């Protein structure tokens, strides 16, 4: 049988891994796909790198637009990244009737509605397993494996850089800046780590999972995003005293009023499996009404883990090439005419529990003033630590965990607490999820 011809756009880390794994496991992949899959052209601006990686075993070009228009290419694999030229290339490939495989989470989170609509019109597939959590097959699990379920919520550690930083801060007691520098030295963090440490990368991935879970349109611009750059190592220690660990979580939950879509540092009970995911690993916890909680764990980045997902998509596309478009698995799990426009809840309307840390004067009546304000805003206390001041110190920390309450109540209470003359600086607030 004739092979499937692939045009690869970008031969960087993931592109190189895809080329290597596809060659190494060619026979096994062909047995699964029903026909050989081969990369017959690679486009990259750095032709010297492309020649080195491929060993000259396929055609090379520095013109990616020539690849998406090449009649000999059946599937385009887009690994360029970004939302500029990658968007143009993907739409042009779709217009030319080519199936697309991509690892580009930013592009899909920002322009997925447009891209999937174009693919639907042209009767082609856009496959994107590699866009979320690297080698973990979470997209297939959500879109196919859990299709009988009404998904209730998803909570994921979906950025390895931030998880490595938080693991090191907890394990070594080091401040954020020192661990970030170490992460950059080891190659876990980019020279400009903003997308990772400020939660933007995680929000891209969460947006995609949320759309699949609830049959909603992509709404990245409405996600609440808070990173870890302002997290203090003392809060990690205090959290442990309560029996919790802090992770950067992406959380999406279906509520009667709409959908929660939020990324932020979160306290998780240390008995939960996901709380014990360390280093640069990823994990996604999905709660379905029929199956209960299911956990997916593995490497969320890297050349070959991500290549594993890219090639899995290639095999899927190869298997369904002869299927009518209406008989294929829909891009977002639900049939295109069944995609809805559920509102994204503003963070002020989210109901959860909270960790609050206050620096206070060590004098009588302080705790009474704070608890009175919390009670005024319907916030009840679940647990509390009043740290003994160091010798000679006139200030100390009070740390509280609250029961569930609406975020706007906490916002209003914090404004009043910070106006108390006994309070120094700002109240530290971290959300808490028990993930039951």
Higher pLDDT, 332 or 133: 133
3-state DSSP call for residue 424? strand
Structure-block tokens of residue 295: 């956990």
Q: pLDDT grade, residue 364 (50/70/90)?
A: confident
354 neighbors 383 (Cβ within 8 angstroms): no
**Mean pLDDT in residue range 294-302:** 94
Helical (H) or strand (E) element with 59: strand 59-61
In this prediction, residue 262 carries a pLDDT of: 98
**Mean pLDDT (the chain, rounded):** 94
For the CA atoms of the chain, what is the radius of gyration? 24
- Say if residue 326's pLDDT is above 80: no
Q: pLDDT grade, residue 165 (50/70/90)?
A: very high
Structure-block tokens of residue 89: 């290339």
d(CA 105, CA 97): 22
149 neighbors 291 (Cβ within 8 angstroms): yes
pLDDT cut 70: percent of the chain above it: 98
In this prediction, residue 31 carries a pLDDT of: 94
In this prediction, residue 324 carries a pLDDT of: 67
Please, which residues have CB within 8 angstroms of residue 323's CB and are 6 or more apart in sequence? Answer: none
Instruction: Please list the active-site residues.
Output: 205
pLDDT digits (tens, 9 = 90+) for 379-415: 999 999 987 777 768 899 999 999 999 999 999 999 9
Domains of the chain: residue spans and CATH: 4-135+303-338 (3.40.50.720), 138-299 (3.30.360.10), 351-432 (3.30.70.260)
Interior angle at CA 112, CA 106 and CA 115, nearest 5: 120
d(CA 189, CA 269): 27
Higher pLDDT, 105 or 341: 105
pLDDT digits (tens, 9 = 90+) for 66-99: 999 999 999 999 999 999 999 999 999 999 999 9
Structure-block tokens of residue 238: 């205090």
């Amino acid at each position: 049988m004739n092979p499937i011809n692939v045009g690869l756009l970008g031969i960087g880390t993931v592109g190189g891994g895809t080329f290597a794994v596809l060659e190494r496991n060619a026979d096994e992949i062909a047995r699964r796909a029903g026909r050989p899959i081969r990369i017959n052209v690679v486009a990259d601006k750095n032709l010297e790198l492309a020649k080195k990686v491929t060993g000259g075993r396929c055609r090379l070009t520095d013109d990616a637009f020539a690849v998406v228009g090449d009649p000999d290419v059946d599937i385009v694999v887009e690994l360029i990244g970004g939302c500029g030229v990658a968007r143009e290339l993907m739409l042009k490939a779709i217009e030319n009737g080519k199936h697309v495989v991509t690892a580009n989470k930013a592009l899909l989170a920002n322009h997925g509605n447009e891209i999937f609509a174009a693919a639907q019109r042209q009767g082609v597939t856009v496959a994107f397993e590699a866009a979320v959590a690297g080698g973990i097959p979470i997209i297939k699990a959500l879109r196919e494996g859990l299709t009988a379920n009404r998904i209730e919520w998803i909570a994921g550690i979906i950025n390895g850089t931030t998880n490595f930083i938080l693991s090191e801060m907890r394990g070594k007691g080091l401040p954020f800046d020192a661990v970030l520098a170490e992460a950059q030295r080891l190659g876990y963090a980019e020279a400009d780590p903003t997308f990772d440490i400020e939660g933007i990368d995680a929000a891209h991935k969460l947006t995609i999972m949320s759309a699949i879970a609830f049959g909603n349109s992509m709404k990245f611009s409405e996600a609440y995003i808070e990173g870890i750059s302002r997290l203090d190592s003392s809060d990690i220690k205090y959290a442990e005293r309560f029996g919790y660990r802090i992770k950067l979580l992406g959380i999406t939950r279906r509520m009667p009023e709409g959908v929660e879509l939020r990324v932020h540092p979160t306290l998780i009970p240390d008995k939960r499996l996901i709380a014990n995911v360390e280093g640069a690993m990823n994990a996604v916890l999905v709660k379905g009404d029929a199956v209960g909680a299911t956990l997916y764990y593995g490497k969320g980045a890297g050349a070959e883990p991500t290549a594993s997902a890219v090639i899995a998509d290639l095999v899927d596309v190869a298997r369904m090439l002869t299927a009518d478009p209406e008989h294929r698995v829909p891009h977002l799990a639900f049939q295109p005419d069944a995609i809805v426009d559920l509102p994204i809840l503003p963070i002020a309307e989210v109901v959860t529990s909270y960790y609050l840390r206050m620096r206070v004067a060590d004098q009588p009546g302080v705790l009474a003033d704070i608890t009175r304000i919390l009670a005024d805003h319907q916030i009840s206390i679940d647990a509390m630590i009043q740290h003994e001041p160091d010798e000679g110190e006139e200030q100390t920390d009070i740390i509280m965990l609250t029961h569930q309450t609406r975020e706007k109540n906490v916002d209003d209470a914090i404004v009043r607490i910070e106006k108390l003359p006994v309070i120094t600086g700002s109240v530290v607030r971290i959300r808490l999820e028990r993930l039951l």
